[in-house]
Structure 1
């Protein structure tokens, strides 16, 4: 190989390396934004009032000041970061109300994860208070593994872990604790 050929090859390598060095730009902010856009909700709603009916009969009534829709995810969900007020009606039209400071409704499983000051109140004035509760919409079943307080009729019961139908007709207390009070 001649000196001239070597000179041309070396010049091309240097030119290529210089071009590559100067063509790079700092796009770290753009790379960060890719993840943000993929994690963003597909929809956002303020002050929602959603009514669910079946055969022109009101089944559920949901109110919330804020909702984020993540149904674009593989395991879709709706998030209610400022809490919910959910009224569920039984076959006779009797309401049960659920209040929570925060909620996530999972679309594939029909499960609602309620957190914060959670209260379930039935039309018979029975109430369950807890910090976290799950509501299975399909089976109309509520459960928690957290501490709870149940006020049913004249009784006031506390404990940890509770499973129940949403109207407390069938329920199981896992670890009742403290005295059971009967109010007159």
Structure 2
């Protein structure tokens, strides 16, 4: 009888331990769900055509099939999952164009991340193409570590990994490049 009592106690302890294990697992999953942050957008728009003006002058026109705003997060951002077409006007009303398959604008850092078939065409027919390009809005500066191709109106061609440049292409820094430059200003 003493052996049976020992077996019963052992069985009760085993059942209790298994029950506690499964109930803890269930509670753990519930706690994990509570701690997960949900990225619920604070706003969405389809087929947007945004005109940015400053002092009565048009500075930029942004066209996108979809915009999702996550402005209520700790690090707010706006996403353009179906790409953008941006027209930028300089002080002389010259137009330059930026196209990308995807874009996200981070509000705290003032960085814009352009991805997928990124193409910039300046008003004077300079073209830069790459897979990903960042734009620092505060410093008006573009940069990438990805492979790029650059063409200008005179037929000059450069390519390579990594480049950074000013928004008007007046300053152009390359890490490693190759290409053909025919017209060098002295």
For the superposition of Structure 1 and Structure 2, which TM-score range results when normalised by the shorter chain?
0.7 to 0.9
TM-score by length of 1: 0.77
Quote the residue 1:72 is aligned against. Answer: 72
Q: Alignment partner of 1:124: what SS?
A: coil
How many Å separate the matches in 2 of 1:118 and 1:46? 21
Deviations 1:35-77 (A, max 9, x none): 57x3111111100011111101111110000011001111100
Q: Give the direction of change, closer, same or farther, for the CA distance of 1:33–1:121 in structure 2 (3 Å limit).
A: farther
Paired positions, count: 155
Quote the residue 1:173 is aligned against. Answer: 174
Following superposition, the deviation at residue 33 of structure 1 comes to: 9.2
Matches within 5 A, 1:98-177: 98-153=98-153, 154-177=155-178
Kindly report structure 1 stretches of 4+ aligned residues shifted beyond 4 Å: 31-36
Which structure is higher in strand share? 1
Deviations 1:112-150 (A, max 9, x none): 100000001100010000000011122221111100000
Following superposition, the deviation at residue 34 of structure 1 comes to: 8.7
Matched, 1:90 2:90: yes
How many Å separate the matches in 2 of 1:33 and 1:78? 25
Assess if the C-alpha contact under 8 Å between 1:97 and 1:122 holds in 2: yes
Assess if the C-alpha contact under 8 Å between 1:96 and 1:167 holds in 2: no
How many Å separate the matches in 2 of 1:110 and 1:181? 34
CA RMSD of aligned residues (A): 2.2
Quote the residue 1:8 is aligned against. Answer: none
